[in-house]
Amino acid sequence: MQRFDTTRMRLWRLPRWQTGLLAALAIAIGLAITIVATTLVLVITPIFLVVALALKYLPAQSKKRDAASSPRPKVIDAEYEILPADSLADRPANDTSRPRSPFE
């Protein structure tokens, strides 16, 4: 095996029509990407701007919806009576004079 043999390293030359085809393909792909990006900017950007303006200037949700969707529980203002645990155990199950606790 000779180190500087001409068969070892060979230049691969493209014919002129293949070079032109590759250049046309590269230009077509570049134009397609440019057109898609321009379309996205020209179509989607105004949509996002309209949504942002609508969220900013339209009235907020009603207080009822805010209270219902609030993670904090609603506090009911009433008079509460604390019963000893042994009095709950002595009461019969069919006693309707006082509602039973859901924790029994």
Q: What is the pLDDT of residues 33-89, one digit of tens each?
A: 999 999 999 999 999 999 999 999 987 665 555 555 667 777 778 887 887 777 656
- What is the number of structural domains in the chain? 1
User: Among all chains, which residue has been given the structure tokens 């898609």?
Assistant: 36
96 within some domain: no
82 within some domain: no
**Which residue range(s) make up the domain with 19?**
15-60
42 burial via Cβ count (<10 Å: 0-12, 13-18, 19+)? exposed
Look up residue 56 and give its two tokens.
């900013």
Full-prediction pTM beyond 0.75?
no
36 within some domain: yes
10 within some domain: no
91 within some domain: no
Look up residue 65 and give its two tokens.
């919806």
Of 41, 40, 38, 18, the residue nearest 30 (C-alpha): 38
